Chain A
Amino acid sequence: MAIFSVYVVNKAGGLIYQLDNYAPRAEGEKTFSYPLDLLLKLHDERVLVAFGQRDGIRVGHAVLSINGVDVNGKYTAEGKEVLEYLGNPANYPVSIRFGRPRLTSNEKLMLASMFHSLFAIGSQLSPEQGSSGIEMLETDTFKLHCFQTLTGIKFVVLADPRQGGIDSLLRKIYEIYSDFALKNPFYSLEMPIRCELFDQNLKLALEVAEKAGTFGPGS
């Protein structure tokens, strides 16, 4: 999976579409006996590992599921508090899955609107007029590519740094948007895109781009 996510941001900076296309690694389920040799803490409505590291479980990982059932923030599926549940020796042995906490939809909305503002700042900083705005943000684990249309919509793709062909992928996503979202008369402009055909075609396009681009090991 070399293309990690796709975001579509409308003119006002609101996130209207988001797709995650990666299977996170290191999410094995492990069985634990009392007492738990990891120190857990509550942070931001999630239960995170504060200290202790073993078998691929790192500091900062969140409790994702207990005994095979996904947790709901800091509560188990039955509504009990996770920390309380794991503090009670009677509940052991227990099987817990840890992993990097996923972003919630609210967090994604906020990040998208923040990116929209940064994009605007980027254009203002430009020494020349008519800058294209931020086209790429690079880190060691991913590259963020952005394309803003003449009408102000932004298509953002997060991909593996070695993945090529993202420029044409961004144009392709624009075409898919103009076809399956805009030509659907029941879709209102600037609103969240909830069109099945858009989803399907986007996923197909991502597959094609991944095969055509360059991969590296460990993707």
Chain B
Amino acid sequence: MALSRALSFYRSFSTVPSQSLRVCIVGSGPAGFYTADKILKAHEGAEVDIVDRLPTPFGLVRSGVAPDHPETKVVTNQFSRVAQNGHCSFIGNVSLGSSISLAELRELYDAVVLSYGAESDQALGIPGEELAGIYAAREFVWWYNGHPDCRNLAPDLKSSDTAVIIGQGNVALDAARILLRPTTELATTDISCHALAALGESSIRKVYLVGRRGPAQAAFTAKELREVLRIKDLSIEIRQEDLSKTPADEEELKNNRIKRRIHELLSKAATPATSICSPGQKELHFVFFRKPDRFLESDCRNGYIAGLRMERTILKEDVESGKQIAVGTGLFAEMECGLVLKSVGYKSIPVDGLPFDHHKALIAVWSIIVAN
């Protein structure tokens, strides 16, 4: 392929001594840059090429960190310093598998490091998942962050006032916050223009964060939760009964400072039974102990989502892991919504030339990489 010929050509004219370590790092996110940094510091004269399929570096720091979290992106200063090293190059628009194969990289370099992340998504595996209006949270995040793959996502934010986010981690909170923050506040961030325009016309007023388990098992962390609870003119809805702790919950919280503080924050934010909401008021609902059962198709819009059916759960201890897992109770309820974001985890994409565990969606064998 043209790229490997170009790289060999370059190498034959370089003045690098033949003994120096030549490394190719595939993926220019934090893992890739920290690896490059360590290699350059540990090996005198090492040459490191960081490649990425995108024209721009930094992986999730650029495409995953929310636009209203600029301080989390400050770390790119460190990465830029690494790339300024004369022995380090960033080469964009190089896609492993299509621009160049793993076999070719292994011929050109002494070592190849795969740090290309996990760009696919866990599926729920329930009926209706293919309906329009249902997205992976990752796609929504890439859309508002201007990732080229999702610039044409065009989520419909005008046909309904209700969005449901499945999952209760920090990514779910990010998506909720971007949907609910006043757009005047978003306008001063580096949010993508197409997203800012769409959010400016959005009719979404209610966001439901739905989790299978309870507040003691929620995966988000304090800083992000605190931030979403402070959004201007936003009513927070949490049911008191969801906050009661079982002995198993107490045990889980006892040894976990993060979860204890989360539970305290949620308890403080829980609204009393009668809360007054003015029409048009924005609402964020924390829905616990509900498992999505199926998505419901609209009667008037073919192939489009209109709502979802959820099953109430209780927690039981899983004998093998000792963890509390959600078990269905056979009690169902339906709710309307026009937008669903699935924030239930990610999956790796296989690479030609490496064994892949399709069940766990992971590269199966790592030790063969540094074998040359």
* A, B bound: no
Question: What is B's interface to A at a CB cutoff of 8 Å?
Answer: none
Interface residues of A (CB under 8 A from B): none
